[in-house]
Amino acid sequence: MKYVKFLATVGAVTLLLSACSTMPQAQVPEETVQIEAPEPALQTFYDQRAGWQDCDGDASVMDFTDGRAAEKEFKCAKVTVPLEYESPSNGTIELQLVKYSKSAGAKPLVFNPGGPGGSAVSALPSMVDYTFTEKLMTGYDIVAVDPRGVGLSAPVRCLTAEETDQFRAEDTPATVEEIREASRKLGEACLEKSPEMARHSDSESAMRDMDIVRAALGQEKLDYMGFSYGTFLGALYADTFAQQVGRFVLDGALDPSIPVDEVAEGQASGFENILAFWLDAGSKKGQIPLKGTTDQMKEQLGQWLETLKDEPLPTADPNRPLTKALATSAILALMYDDSTWNVAWAGLSQAMSQKDGSILLQVADLYADRQDDGSYKTNSFDAFTVINSLDYKALDDEQMQMYADRILRNSPLLGEGFIYSSASIEGWPVESRDTRREVKASGADPILVIGTTFDPATPYYWAESLVKQLESGHLLKVEGLKHTAYSRKAGNCVTDSVDDFMLAGKLPDEGKTCQLPKQ
């Protein structure tokens, strides 16, 4: 759900249309509970309590929140976790926490906005402005925690800003061997710049960090909302720490049990389907320079994208033309929510009719957290690559080719960018932790899972699968054209269902279906 902040900033485009540390001496609240660690070697970490302080003295937090953290509702803290849970004495790292409080005495609600690689700290202002309801925030403090390797929590570094620009602009390697080699080179760059975090930014470790955060917040149970990739962290946590599960909402669910190439297959199909809706709507409104049936428009769009391989379009930045990779990433970014389709129509029209790729380039940059000065605000690109490479196990060549054939057959327009994911994992120079598995969370309190019927990034059937795996899973079906459902503009059916569960423990009726407002 990295796109939450992206949606808040995409208005800028619309205007165009018109390391290691020692254990800290954390401050301890007056009232606290004794929390026992799952193993004695971790007790020192579990004895921490978050020492909340004003954020205005932390330049990094101020930068990540665009200065919002100076407001009185925001407080900052750090929590120390072991670098390696297998050897807790072998170094530590610090996690950055920022909370937003509207009501005195409210309980903490930890959230993850998605990714992997999305910074919760950077997303926090947008989340409290546009996502979490006023009702929910009267009962909860909203706590942003950057996972290890991400944002302000021992961020993994791989590429310079210039190298990231180049990587994002390049076409997808054509062969399996080229993909393996590109992955190997990128992995070596990560190991050179971040030798520890390139090895220890996996989701299994990040999930275990969440339990230390729970203890630092003084809570016997963790209340949590995870969006997109955040649902995977939540599912892993529930499966590992079932007795510590409080109120859990997992929105835009990933299926934690499927291999990387099957994830790619689901996303390729999801985006291909949503693109058809976008093309049809744009054609009916006369907003795009494409004609004919849906399949004919897809073919025209595909042919135009291919021309960008040899003839990228000029943009407002004379040094950065619009390539096929950048154009595709911009269009896909705008497919996450039908409220941004108008920007995609305008960007495509400008590019195809005026031979100007400026709008689409700006969209691609906004989504990648690239700033006007050429720097990248967060390390989301590096973290996304490292975490996925550590989390998944590569399939053998025969299985990988089977998925590639299915992807290209079922997603002819976009499939090329989704094939051979296992080759990338196989080329990575650090052995995978293989964190993907079926989850049960036996004995956990009820877990509310939300699936949206035409979610391009996390298909609805993944939510159904997760609910079947979880012993206490409960499904809320939402009809709509959007990645994840819960937000202030989602309508009362969605927001009341979530808020009533989080605040009062009341689950939606079995089989309940909500409808997102049409944009």
Model pLDDT for residues 72-126, shown as the tens digit of each residue:
999 999 999 999 999 999 999 999 999 999 988 899 999 999 999 999 999 999 9
- Quick one: angle between helices 380-391 and 203-216, nearest 10? 110
Strand partners, 475: 449
Specify the pLDDT at position 260.
98
Scanning 47-91, the segments in alpha helix (DSSP H) are: 59-64
Instruction: Give the amino acid at 143.
Output: V
Report residues of the chain scoring pLDDT below 50.
Answer: 1, 3-31
Class of domain 3-9+28-154+199-258+436-515 as given by CATH = alpha beta
C-alpha triplet 385, 371, 272: angle, nearest 5°: 50
Specify the pLDDT at position 434.
87
3-state secondary structure 125-186: HHHHHHHCCHHHHHHEEEEEECCCCECCECCCCCCCHHHHHHHHHCCCCCCHHHHHHHHHHH
Specify the pLDDT at position 201.
98
Specify the pLDDT at position 26.
35
Whether this prediction's pTM lies above 0.85 is answered by yes
Handedness of CA 339, 344, 350, 352 (dihedral sign): negative
CB 32 within 8 Å of CB 218: yes
Specify the pLDDT at position 400.
98
CB 2 within 8 Å of CB 113: yes
Specify the pLDDT at position 354.
98
CB 473 within 8 Å of CB 447: yes
Domain locations in the chain?
A: 3-9+28-154+199-258+436-515, 158-178+261-391+394-431
Specify the pLDDT at position 32.
58
511: left (phi over 0), alpha (psi -120 to 50) or beta: left
